[in-house]
Amino acid sequence: MLQPIDMNACEAVGHGARRPEDVAVSVDGAVWLSDQGGACAMIDGTDALARSGDAGGAPNGINFDLEGRIVIANFGGPDDGYGPLQRFDPATGEVEILVGEIDGRRLYGCNYPLVDSRGRIWCSHSTWDASVGLSGAGADDGFVFRLDPDGSVRVLAEGIRLANGIAMDYDEQHLFVCETTACDVLRYAIEDDGSLGAPQRYGPVLGLDIPAMPDQRPLPVEWRSRLGLTDGCGFDVDGNLWVTLVMANKVIAITPEGDVVTMLDDPEGKLMRNPTNVSWGGDGLRDLYIGSITSDYVVKAPSPVPGMAQAYQRP
């Protein structure tokens, strides 16, 4: 049975990062953060940051490809209206654009990338509407696309209410997508031809959405803790899907049986504030890292279950 993590066992690392929405850990154990101060920043042994690259916009989700480069989903946003899929080479510090437009339309808000065992890059794109944010104001224009090694780009799923973090099961049979303003996770079967089947909700609705909250701002803690807006997700080795609830300052896990277990809970945001993504690293993949869009650090915690090895982490 999953055991919740005591917040007292958690620590803040990577101080000084700008908008460290995600963490990616290399095969040699280096811990990298997405960082709006450049592209990515590596945490050294003294907890200092070594920044590198210039991605522009707002580097968001990050993940390693099979060659040890970091793929960046750039959320862009209202400042420049441009949020492409990029790739950062830690060896040179160079940043290149992999996908800047689809069907002649410049990408606005790439959110999270994932590289599978065939080297294909899957990426969520949250919305085209700068006014939506997390308000849940009816936008259902999120989608998922994929860049294949031959350079072809294909939109695979549409009509998602703020498409956010994505994950795959170990056998790469399903794609899981956090549907933020619907407060749930969608599961898509990956067909033999690489297309996606019809979406199914995975687990229950995980809380209330913002329009269901009272008009009072800021929201009282007791109301915020009931918000179910999903942000990032990732699997552990036992097949539990860990999901961040960004406004509730909470991380939950959906078990293979569909039960929901609260793994971390910091209702007042004393340490874990607006958690966005979960990543594993360290010996045996037992170090859990939790990104944030509002803190200048990430949270590191001892994971009761090892994380599932990503494609780039497997032999």
pLDDT confidence bin for 184, thresholds 50/70/90 = very high
As assigned by CATH, the class of the 7-313 domain is mainly beta
pLDDT confidence bin for 138, thresholds 50/70/90 = low
Mean pLDDT for 230-234 is 98
Q: What is the pLDDT of residue 78?
A: 62
Mean pLDDT for 123-147 is 79
Q: What is the pLDDT of residue 218?
A: 85
Contact at 8 Å (CB) between 109 and 125?
Answer: yes
pLDDT confidence bin for 227, thresholds 50/70/90 = very high
CA 193 to chain centre: 26
pLDDT confidence bin for 278, thresholds 50/70/90 = very high
Burial class of 253 by CB neighbour count within 10 A (0 to 12, 13 to 18, 19+): buried
**Phi, psi (degrees; rounded to nearest 5) at 185:** -125, 135
pLDDT confidence bin for 303, thresholds 50/70/90 = very high
* Cα dihedral: 309, 312, 313, 315 (round 10): 110
Contact at 8 Å (CB) between 47 and 98?
Answer: no
Task: Evaluate if residue 135 carries a pLDDT over 80.
Answer: no
Mean pLDDT for 14-41 is 97
Q: What is the pLDDT of residue 130?
A: 63
Q: What is the pLDDT of residue 217?
A: 83
Domains of the chain, by residue range, sit at: 7-313
For 187, the token pair is 């599961």
Separation between Cα atoms, residue 272 and residue 280, nearest integer Å: 16
For 284, the token pair is 């045996």
Task: Evaluate if residue 146 carries a pLDDT over 70.
Answer: yes
Mean pLDDT for 120-147 is 81
Strand 11-13 to strand 184-189: parallel, antiparallel, or no bridges (unpaired)? unpaired
Average pLDDT of every residue of the chain: 94
Separation between Cα atoms, residue 5 and residue 263, nearest integer Å: 6
Cut 0.75: pTM above it:
yes
What SS3 state is found at 8? helix
Contact at 8 Å (CB) between 230 and 179?
Answer: yes
Contact at 8 Å (CB) between 39 and 54?
Answer: yes
Q: What is the pLDDT of residue 153?
A: 98
Strand 31-34 to strand 23-25: parallel, antiparallel, or no bridges (unpaired)? antiparallel
Separation between Cα atoms, residue 259 and residue 261, nearest integer Å: 7
Mean pLDDT for 129-157 is 83
Side-chain half-sphere exposure of 110, counting CA atoms within 13 A? 36
**Dmax (CA) of the chain:** 52
Tokens 């809380």 sit on residue: 207
Give residue-wise pLDDT tens across range 192-217: 999 999 999 999 999 999 888 888 88
pLDDT confidence bin for 230, thresholds 50/70/90 = very high
What SS3 state is found at 28? coil
